Amino acid sequence: MTLLAALQSCDMLLIDDLHCFDFHLDDDGLMAECMDGRQLRRWQFNPQQVAAAQREGDQWRIDGVQGQHRLACMSALRATDEDDDDEDDPQTPAHG
């Protein structure tokens, strides 16, 4: 698996131990940003840097303009759209 493939199937990144939900991947490469306390942190990697990333266990080592970074692709936990209220469920017996 390549980093590019991993990025296409994840919805959260861990970059240098910071959780990053705001990222996008396009023809220009990978752009990510997150808040670190009060500081906005930004990372940008061109397509060649993404392609050259080396997998190390469940993380990736990627070289950027600011140096080397550790990146992990993750799936964020999301609440379901289902209601806990069973009143609209036709299979739930009516209480009488």
Q: pLDDT by residue (tens digit) across 59-91?
A: 999 998 889 999 999 986 655 655 555 555 555
Instruction: Return d(Cα 6, Cα 1) in angstroms, integer.
Output: 7
CATH class of 3-74: mainly beta
- Across the strands, what pairs with 43? 32
pTM of the model: 0.74
The residue whose two tokens read 């990333």 is: 53
Domain map (residue ranges) of the chain: 3-74
Q: pLDDT by residue (tens digit) across 10-37?
A: 999 999 999 998 999 999 999 999 999 9
